[in-house]
Chains A and B, each alone.
Chain A
Amino acid sequence: MTEEEIGLIEAEEHPLDGYLRKGRIPHIWCPGCSLGSVTTVIIEAIKESGIDPKNISVISGIGCTGRTAGYLNFDSFHTTHGRAIPFAIGLGLTDPNRKIIIISGDGDLASIGGNHLIHAARRNADITVICVNNFQYGMTGGQVGPTSYKGQVQTTAPYGNMEEPFNLPELVKSCGATYVARWTALDVRRVKESFVEAINHKGFSFVEVLGSCPTTYGRRNQLREGIAILENFKERAVIEHGIDTEKVAISKEGPIIVGKFVDIHDKPTLTDNMLSIQRMSTASKDKGA
């Protein structure tokens, strides 16, 4: 559609006004990037979760996805590369009513921040981790990453990536995550449902969103437009709720398994354990320890 056909829409207010920081739009993201729609979905999910916005903190690391926290009009923290999770754990433990949402990319969370990711899952920390996976490092110009599939061409894998990628749902599940889901950025409705579930989940919740990055991923891998990446997801995505996460690895071709893989409710969380320690310590102090 041309601009004339659409007609210029003028509105005093945007439905997301108040949830985005005034004066921060336009954002830095490229045309065809899915981060704009993911951000919209995050806001919609927070609204739907029913949580008082005052009790929500959003935390990001570094990278394109890492810019998300700074656009959102909640308590928002743009931290260092890979360190959103431990920053968020410290912040979250100061108030059990605080809902902690981490939004960051695959390189940030699974490579430089990988140690924190697995330990947060092991502790069943009370945090929601939204990982937008664009299969490489976008902001720095398209270098190969820990989620790049075999054969993927990137600026630092000019002959094609030779290494096995992380299967992120399997990684976090095996470490103890109690909510794990994956969707493509095309599935905005399902993404939102998962975000709402994850945000209301007690313990470590992880949602992987497969995103589109035409600028530094697509154009080197025969998917030049954002829409081509989404079309590719649409053709390959297969919903398999509850499937063993061992079977959801992503390769260059073949099905991309999406769905809700893990949803466990009876495991004590980090906060539960910390509050138990407080009770034990007070009892032991009363005995004179």
Chain B
Amino acid sequence: MSDNKENTPMVNTGEYFTSGNLAVAEGSLAAGCKFFGGYPITPSSEVAEHMSIKLPQIKGHFVQFEDEIASIASILGASWGGWKSMTATSGPGYSLMLENIGLGIMTETPCVIVNVQRGGPSTGLPTLVGQQDIQQARWGSHGDYEIIALSPNSVQECFDLAIAAFNLAEEYRVPVTILMDETIGHMSEKLVIPDKEEIEIVNRKKPTDEAKDHLPYKADEDLIPPMAVAGEGYNVITTGLTHDERGYPVLDADTQKVLITRLLDKIRKNKDKIIKLEEYMLDDAEFVIISFGISSRAAKGAVNLARKKGLKAGYLRLITIWPFPDEKIAQLSEKVKAIFITEINSGQVTREVQRAVEGKSKVHGLFKLGGAIHTPTEIVEEIERRIK
């Protein structure tokens, strides 16, 4: 099986009319994913189903585990075996995965978690849209950490961001979440899968020193340590305990400070490289709508509608949800009259915008509580009502 060590991407170049769930699976394959551990849950199950067909064809493995806890644990294990790995779930399953997402953060394990959001809390609206796991993805696991989460708003972007998610996971050695939603997952649009040569792939840094001198958690200047995996002779060591550069548990405040500061900073200091935003008609905008995922489709429509009515509206879309673009929003707040946020929850991104704005402009959250999407008309009507 020595020919099976490489993460050979499966790129099914062509044009398709397909769903977001299948596109995120295809993007993962194109990124070199070889292991999927998962548990069925609506509205994400099509991701697992597609991977169960495709992964064995490239000598990868699909395993349907007994629950989501096993699924996330298995993909951490597979990543330490040198394979790019992923799982897909929805809110309730994501809740079950959180402890081991923390293990992934602490052990700096690259992997990708797709969360096709539905309405919650609890069983909520299994078959209907929600965007209510934004803060769960940020703070759900215990302890202090920084995380990367991406939010596609089209079928094409499900494919593109799957590749981006794997690349970010490999580059920063961190679990990356793709925060989709039921509508993005289930709607069908055109998907273009480019030629293999056009896809940029990032792989984790490998150590170059001798095994006997190797310090597995000694970071380079970029704050990211090279990663040896099992079977390479480095005698890999991982622990969820606070550890030093050797990977040995050292349970004191000094070691904690050094380790956690590095884990936070490797994301914080690279925010500018990580964060991707879409801007539309912002140059002269007096009113800005901030949105993401399916809500952003209506928000963009609302901007066009508002402009027709003579309102100087603009739009900022969060392609990267975490880390949050504080600086960009702070800058915007200095030049606009009001910021509106459309989201399918009761204000999870709005809180972040309020924090970033620091009172410098008005902030209005336009919320749906799950099960339905905003319409452009109602967004514009609400803007008109609030700016009177």
Residues of chain A having any CB pair with chain B under 8 Å: 21, 23-24, 54-55, 57, 59, 70, 73-80, 82-83, 85-98, 115-116, 119, 274, 277-278, 280-282, 285, 289
With A21-B248, A74-B235, A79-B240 as given contacts, are A96 and B76 in contact (CB-CB < 8 Å)? no
> Across the interface, do B74 and A80 meet the contact criterion of CB distance under 8 Å?
no
Closest-CB distance, A62 to chain B (whole angstroms) = 8
Interchain Cβ contacts under 8 Å between A and B, 25 examples: A21-B237, A70-B239, A70-B248, A74-B235, A75-B80, A75-B231, A76-B237, A76-B238, A78-B239, A80-B99, A80-B240, A83-B100, A86-B66, A93-B61, A94-B35, A94-B61, A95-B5, A96-B1, A98-B81, A98-B230, A116-B66, A274-B56, A274-B63, A281-B57, A282-B57
Q: Which of A98, A274, A282 has the most CB of B within 10 A?
A: A274
> Across the interface, do B59 and A91 meet the contact criterion of CB distance under 8 Å?
no
Quick one: closest B residue to A277, CB to CB? B56
> Across the interface, do B76 and A90 meet the contact criterion of CB distance under 8 Å?
yes
Q: What separation, in Å, do the CA atoms of A93 and B63 have in the docked complex? A: 10
Contact with A along B67-110 (1 / 0, CB 8 A): 10111011111111111010000000000000110010000000
> Across the interface, do B81 and A87 meet the contact criterion of CB distance under 8 Å?
no
Asked if B233 is at the interface (CB within 8 A of a chain A CB), the reply is: yes
> Across the interface, do B241 and A78 meet the contact criterion of CB distance under 8 Å?
yes
Residues of chain B having any CB pair with chain A under 8 Å: 1, 4-5, 34-35, 37, 53, 56-57, 59, 61, 63, 65-67, 69-71, 73-83, 85, 99-100, 103, 230-241, 246, 248-249
Q: What separation, in Å, do the CA atoms of A23 and B248 have in the docked complex? A: 9
Q: What separation, in Å, do the CA atoms of A77 and B240 have in the docked complex? A: 9
Residues of B close to A115: CB separation below 8 A:
66-67, 70
Q: What separation, in Å, do the CA atoms of A181 and B320 have in the docked complex? A: 52
Residues of A close to B34: CB separation below 8 A:
94
With A86-B74, A90-B78 as given contacts, are A95 and B231 in contact (CB-CB < 8 Å)? yes
Quick one: closest B residue to A278, CB to CB? B56
Q: What separation, in Å, do the CA atoms of A70 and B239 have in the docked complex? A: 8
Q: Which of A21, A54, A57, A93 has the most CB of B within 10 A?
A: A93
Residues of B close to A97: CB separation below 8 A:
1
With A57-B230, A96-B1 as given contacts, are A90 and B57 in contact (CB-CB < 8 Å)? no
Residues of A close to B82: CB separation below 8 A:
94
> Across the interface, do A79 and B70 meet the contact criterion of CB distance under 8 Å?
no
Q: What separation, in Å, do the CA atoms of A116 and B69 have in the docked complex? A: 9
With A86-B37, A115-B70 as given contacts, are A79 and B103 in contact (CB-CB < 8 Å)? yes
> Across the interface, do A76 and B235 meet the contact criterion of CB distance under 8 Å?
yes
Q: What separation, in Å, do the CA atoms of A289 and B61 have in the docked complex? A: 18
Residues of A close to B230: CB separation below 8 A:
57, 75, 91, 94-95, 98
Quick one: closest B residue to A89, CB to CB? B74
Residues of A close to B83: CB separation below 8 A:
94
> Across the interface, do A91 and B63 meet the contact criterion of CB distance under 8 Å?
no
The 3 A-B pairs at the shortest CB distance, nearest first, are namely: A94-B81, A90-B77, A90-B74
Residues of B close to A281: CB separation below 8 A:
53, 56-57
Q: What separation, in Å, do the CA atoms of A35 and B278 have in the docked complex? A: 57
Q: B231 is contacted by which of A88, A89, A98 (Cβ under 8 Å)?
A: A98
Q: What separation, in Å, do the CA atoms of A55 and B69 have in the docked complex? A: 26
> Across the interface, do B66 and A23 meet the contact criterion of CB distance under 8 Å?
no
Closest-CB distance, B235 to chain A (whole angstroms) = 5
Q: What separation, in Å, do the CA atoms of A79 and B248 have in the docked complex? A: 14
Residues of B close to A277: CB separation below 8 A:
56
Closest-CB distance, B65 to chain A (whole angstroms) = 6
Closest-CB distance, A276 to chain B (whole angstroms) = 9
Quick one: closest A residue to B212, CB to CB? A22
> Across the interface, do B81 and A95 meet the contact criterion of CB distance under 8 Å?
yes
Residues of A close to B71: CB separation below 8 A:
86
> Across the interface, do A87 and B77 meet the contact criterion of CB distance under 8 Å?
yes
Q: What separation, in Å, do the CA atoms of A274 and B34 have in the docked complex? A: 13
Residues of B close to A78: CB separation below 8 A:
238-241, 249
Q: B249 is contacted by which of A70, A77, A278 (Cβ under 8 Å)?
A: A70
Quick one: closest B residue to A286, CB to CB? B57
> Across the interface, do A86 and B69 meet the contact criterion of CB distance under 8 Å?
yes
> Across the interface, do B37 and A90 meet the contact criterion of CB distance under 8 Å?
yes
Residues of B close to A70: CB separation below 8 A:
237, 239, 248-249
With A54-B233, A70-B239 as given contacts, are A86 and B73 in contact (CB-CB < 8 Å)? yes
Closest-CB distance, B196 to chain A (whole angstroms) = 17
With A70-B249, A78-B240 as given contacts, are A119 and B65 in contact (CB-CB < 8 Å)? yes
With A54-B231, A93-B78 as given contacts, are A119 and B63 in contact (CB-CB < 8 Å)? no
Closest-CB distance, B249 to chain A (whole angstroms) = 7
Residues of B close to A74: CB separation below 8 A:
235
Residues of B close to A83: CB separation below 8 A:
69-70, 73, 100, 103
With A79-B240, A89-B77 as given contacts, are A278 and B63 in contact (CB-CB < 8 Å)? no
Closest-CB distance, A1 to chain B (whole angstroms) = 34
Residues of B close to A23: CB separation below 8 A:
246, 248
Given contacts A76-B237, A285-B57, 16 further A-B contacts (CB under 8 A): A57-B231, A75-B236, A76-B235, A79-B238, A80-B99, A83-B103, A87-B74, A90-B77, A90-B85, A93-B63, A94-B34, A94-B82, A94-B83, A95-B4, A95-B230, A282-B56
> Across the interface, do B231 and A80 meet the contact criterion of CB distance under 8 Å?
no
> Across the interface, do B70 and A86 meet the contact criterion of CB distance under 8 Å?
yes
Residues of B close to A85: CB separation below 8 A:
70
Residues of A close to B67: CB separation below 8 A:
115
> Across the interface, do A89 and B63 meet the contact criterion of CB distance under 8 Å?
yes
Closest-CB distance, A273 to chain B (whole angstroms) = 10
With A23-B248, A95-B1 as given contacts, are A77 and B74 in contact (CB-CB < 8 Å)? no
Q: What separation, in Å, do the CA atoms of A54 and B85 have in the docked complex? A: 22
Residues of A close to B61: CB separation below 8 A:
93-94, 274
Q: What separation, in Å, do the CA atoms of A78 and B76 have in the docked complex? A: 12
Q: What separation, in Å, do the CA atoms of A74 and B230 have in the docked complex? A: 9
Q: Which of B74, B234, B241, B246 has the most CB of A within 10 A?
A: B74
Closest-CB distance, A205 to chain B (whole angstroms) = 18
Quick one: closest B residue to A72, CB to CB? B235
Q: What separation, in Å, do the CA atoms of A138 and B236 have in the docked complex? A: 27
